[in-house]
Amino acid sequence: MPSHLIGKAWLAGEGTPLESIDPATGQVVWQGRHATPAEVDAAVFAARAAFEPWATRPEPDRIAIVERFAELLKQERTSSDPTGLPLLISRETGKPRWEALAEIDSMANKIPVSIKAQHDRRSPSAAELPSDKPATRYKPHGVVAVFGPFNFPGHLPNGHIVPALIAGNTVVFKPSELTPGVAARTAELWQAAGLPPGVLNLVQGARDTGQALAAHPGIDGLFFTGSVAAGVALNKLLADRPGVIVALEMGGNNPLVAWDVADGRLDAAALIVAQSAYATAGQRCSCARRLIVEFGPRGQMLLDRVLALIPRLRIGPHTADPEPFMGPLIRPAAADRALAAQQHLLDLGAVPIRPMTRLPLAASPLTDAQSAFVSPGLIDVTHVPNVPDEEIFAPLLQAIRVPTFEAAIAAASATAFGLCAALISSDPRLYETFYARVRAGVVNFNRSTTGASSALPFGGVGLSGNHRPSAAMAADYCSYPVASIEAVDITGPDKPPLGVSPP
């Protein structure tokens, strides 16, 4: 099947074979080829050729195409076709259908947020040239490379692509090699919306394709969502090219603190904990990795409720009825890595409250040892020295018991990441201290760490990002400001410059 969209043509490609696998069944979902360096070069060339016509096209025309894309997403939401986005997202990621539909909703909801953000940064418009007064306007960068992750293969790259297109950029999109089918279907919808050839180009592939695109001299920007290792590598690759705008979102080792929770709110608090830690099988960059609670009975009561809740979380394939809360990890190898990371913590002295385990498969060509399904895990690392500060991308929650709220803040802050943090408490005064002291780009109160809105910025500090938050603030890195002092008439300065004699 066609792999790459370059200009107006879908190409089978000349690289090595590439396929995506349903992690719940092991069945092949999509087949194609990795992009070669020559194909990456052709995609960048096509984007460059399309840039000036797209950037100079009236903004209302660009927005009209983007709004048609949103309408197509809403229509796609009802599709039961195996090649439609709902089933493709579920089959390539393992997500339940309800979560796939929520992702499509997030994609469509991104459109009005991005349009508003672009309008807020445009004062006055280029149509008012010259303005006869000082003005700040914004210009697109040019050709931007967008790197997408596997966990939200539609929503997260969409969060870069939409504001980039509205601002007048052209795009070369390299999705995760684990979810190529979702990317291809999304590109087809952009074509159906009327996007001109070359404005959005798609190159499929893994690390080599990404390196060829990131190192290409023809790109003006790189927008990335993914692991810290890949993000840091891309940042180093572009360190000697300050003219390339780089926006990185790289995950987190997120703390969730529960303190002074009233007895009547413990069940609700446990639900917030479960949502924070186990949503999307723990494969969200915003998932809570560390639960910090009080020493003694109150902290234990919350842990007991979380422990009682874990068996009630339905786990299964997206075809299960009733629908599961969570599906598998993205690959059996991801389950291997997560279980090895848990074992390392246990070897260091962590106490297993309910350890994460590999779950058998009900009906699949895979053996149980190849299963990507794991159970939600809860382990106590309170007395473990030097707990690794890392993002374990799986449904594993590490409990930490501390004696004071001051110690809780210290434990929450003991990370080089800084994406999300949250406090659950019946005392709003504690949130004032928590908010002031915890360093993160998303700080929530009595809500899950995974709670985020496209109408707000989304990003982090430290190893979580490079101070270019996305969502509502993506417009800030999709264009650059141009300051102008203008006059309609040629009147000259108000008085002669120093050293010039009068006539």
Active-site positions? 249, 285
Place of tokens 């800084």: 418
Phi, psi of 244 (to 5 degrees): -95, 120
Task: Please tell me the distance from the alpha carbon of residue 435 to that of residue 162, in angstroms, as a whole number.
Answer: 31
Cβ atoms within 10 Å, residue 451: 16
DSSP 329-356: -S-HHHHHHHHHHHHHHHHHT-EEEE--
Task: Please tell me the distance from the alpha carbon of residue 37 to that of residue 185, in angstroms, as a whole number.
Answer: 23
The answer to whether the beta carbons of residues 409 and 436 sit under 8 Å apart is no
Q: What angle do CA 279, 31, 69 make, to 5 degrees?
A: 60
Q: For 197-331, where are the alpha helices, taking DSSP H only?
A: 207-214, 228-237, 266-278, 297-309
Contacts of 390 (CB under 8 A, 6+ apart): 253, 341
Span between the terminal Cα atoms of the chain, in Å: 77
Q: Token pair of 179, please?
A: 């979810």
